[in-house]
Structure 1
Amino acid sequence: MDASTLFLYVIAVSAVMMTPGPSMLLALSNGASHGMRVASFGMAGAALSDLLLIGAVGCGLGALLQASEQLFSLVKWAGAAYLLYLAWVLWRAPTRSLSEASVPSAARGRSAFLRALSVGLSNPKGLLFFSAFLPQFIRPAEPVAQQYVILAVTSALIDCVMMSLYALGGRHAMRRFSARVMQWINRSCAGILAMLSLGLALYRRSESR
């Protein structure tokens, strides 16, 4: 893969990933509620989901998901239900003080990791997006597996950078705003997640073609 192709991929993926999707909202919430260390666990979970999704695309799972109505519906409804559950958790989450949030626990880190990983893997739109998007940057004359590895690692790194910006924004907001405002931010994220859940429930495979 030449440098110009990789550069175009970086620009395109950065433009897509900077939008406030579920992973970015989780990073914002983790940064605000628990601090950067716990947020980094969530970033690791989201990055792992990118690697697994692109690996699945390379193995043909994306084409299978696009061909099977039953499998697509199963993943779609599971993802929508999980996003709705996360919205409920964020809505009810208590706003912690800065001193309490700055002392992360292993349980919080594991929870942030598993949540971000589950969000990434339970969203069929991600798999369908990579299935339609990645082949445009793959050169069949060159080693295909190596190209998928490069694109997977690049995607995971870009995702981490974008999530870091969201998490830092949440952390900065926590230092400046009152607990009442932070509760409003948490509930705003919950509302957006609920709308994303509805959007996923209404999503159809034909939209990705």
Structure 2
Amino acid sequence: MDAVTILAFAAVSFVGIATPGPTVLLALNNGSRYGVRRAIPGMLGAVFSDFVLIGAVAVGLGALLAASEFWFSVLKYCGAAYLAFLGVMLLRSKGSLDVALAEQGGGSRSAIAIGLKSFMVAVTNPKGYLFFSAFLPQFIDPTSPQASQYLLLALVFSALDFFIMFGYAVFGSQAARFLKTSGAIWLERACGGALLALAGSLAFYRRATA
């Protein structure tokens, strides 16, 4: 795999990651609620999910989901239900700016819980498996060992993912400092509404058929 291929992969990945999705929205919300430092476990959870998804695609799970309507539907509805649950929780949040700023110093939310939430959002989304199944093979040289190539692409993708989520978390953290209490609550509710919209789109998402 040459440098041009890696740069092309990085450029396309950057655009795809930067487009707001569930894990990016969680990074924004975690940054506004807990601060950048405490949002990092969520980013790491999402990065770990990148390796899981790409590894699953490398061993053929993406192809299985593309071929099996049953398993695709199971994963799809689990993912949609989890996104909807998170969205409703954010919409019902009674938090305030003062609470958000206080928690930036180390609130009650554990790092494991923050990281697990982002991880679960990613690994229960079948669109991720299908995306990688269609996207990654375009950058894989079939005449060379594939495991090392998948690993390299996973490292590039996860590094970009972390960098972009970090940027969203910084934005959320700064927004929480400058917004009034009601503004901070509405920012959180906006993230909740976006997650609900993503849950709806996932619930009605269908596999591409030949």
Deviation per residue, 1:93-137 (Å, 9 max, x gap): 212425412222574311110000000000000010000000000
Q: Please say if residues 75 and 124 of structure 1, whose CA atoms lie closer than 8 Å, have aligned partners that are also in contact.
A: yes
Residue of structure 2 equivalent to 1:64: 64
8 Å contact from structure 1 (residues 95, 182) kept in 2: yes
The one-letter code of the counterpart of 1:10 is A
**Aligned ranges for residues 8-157 of structure 1 at < 5 Å?**
8-93=8-93, 94-97=95-98, 99-105=101-107, 107-157=109-159
Residue aligning to 1:192: 194
1:22–1:99: structure 2 CA closer, same or farther, 3 Å change rule? closer
| TM-score, normalised with respect to structure 2 | 0.96
Aligned residues: 208
Residue identity opposite 2:162 in structure 1 = C
Amino acid at match of 2:139: F
* Distance in 1 of aligned mates of 2:107 and 2:66: 40
In structure 1, runs of 5+ residues without a counterpart are none
**For 1:6 and 1:113, how far apart are their aligned partners in 2?**
28
Aligned counterpart, 1:202: 204
Amino acid at match of 2:146: V
Preserved CA contact (<8 Å) 2:53 2:128: yes
- Cα distance in structure 2, aligned partners of 1:149 and 1:78: 28
Q: What percent identity do the matched residue pairs reach?
A: 43
**Helix, strand or coil at the partner of 1:204:** coil
CA displacement at 1:43 relative to structure 2: 0.2
| Residue 4 of structure 2: aligned partner | 4
Q: Does the 8 A contact of 1:47 with 1:156 survive in 2? A: yes
| Structure 1 partner of 2:183 | 181
Distance 1:100 1:106 in 2: 10
C-alpha spacing 1:106/1:5, structure 2 compared with 1 (3 Å): farther
Three-state SS of the structure 1 residue aligned to 2:208 is helix
Letter in 1 for 2:207: R
TM-score with structure 1 length normalisation?
Answer: 0.96
CA contact (8 A) 2:34 2:107 kept: no
RMSD across aligned positions (CA): 1.3
The alpha-carbon distance between structure 1 residues 107 and 177, as it changes in their structure 2 partners (threshold 3 A), is closer
Alpha carbons 1:37, 1:104 under 8 Å: kept? no
The aligned amino acid for 1:122 is T
Listed one character per residue, the Cα deviations across residues 176-204 of structure 1 (whole Å, up to 9, x for unaligned) are 11111010010011111101000000100
